[in-house]
Amino acid sequence: MPFTQIKKYYFDLVPSLTEEIWIEMKQKAIVQHYKKGENYITPGEQEQFVTFINKGGFRYFLLMDDKEFVCEFTFENNYISEYQSFLKRKPAKMFIQALEDSEVVKLHYDDVQACYERYPPFQKFGRLVAEKFLIDHIERLNSLLFSSPEDRYNQLITNNPQLLQRIPQYMIASFIGITPEALSRIRKRSVVSLI
């Protein structure tokens, strides 16, 4: 059932959402599947959706001088969107790509705006989702500015231990801002410190 998780997410986040709002959102929602390696969005496209991940995961990344810079990983029960493009109605600046076969539920920009107009509880829902995007972005920026690569790695595996099985090491290295070789040295030190 593609709508089970998202419905729970909605009602857990904003209990004042009603069945009427839920039914309208469900009617407007699009269920889509992405294969591993398939792009959700590429630079230059305009983001049209906010998208809930039912199953699977995605990475946000930039491509500069043929080198990938991984910015974020997002998995089940979270939203993805090239959010600046979505809000400002401008072309996307980064890639969002499926890390594994994934199922998502998408809601179009126009439908989001219509639900905001019709249903005040949906405005609260949208605000809380936007606040989560902002907080995640600020935490990521603070981590890059104020934490060492080793601290970033340890925080990543403490908060998301499943990532080590779901994401290639070179992507983890890019995410924490180091080379794969430097990550290998950090991992060896982490293993030694656990013994």
Q: What is the pLDDT of residues 71-89, one digit of tens each?
A: 999 999 999 999 999 999 9
* The pLDDT value given to residue 34: 98
Classify domain 4-143 by CATH architecture: Sandwich (2.60)
Under the banding of pLDDT at 50, 70 and 90, the label for residue 194 is very low
Under the banding of pLDDT at 50, 70 and 90, the label for residue 144 is confident
Domain ranges of the chain: 4-143, 147-195
pTM summary value: 0.89
Query: Which tokens go with 31?
Result: 């269920």
Q: Tell me the C-alpha distance between 99 and 74, whole Å.
A: 9
Calculate mean pLDDT across residues 141-169: 87
Candidate from 90-99, 107-116, 159-168, 173-182 with smallest mean pLDDT: 159-168
Residues 6+ apart with CB under 8 A from 52: 5, 6, 9, 77, 78, 79, 104, 105, 106
Q: What is the pLDDT of residues 99-126, one digit of tens each?
A: 999 999 999 999 999 999 999 888 999 9
Contact yes or no for 27/48 (Cβ under 8 A): no
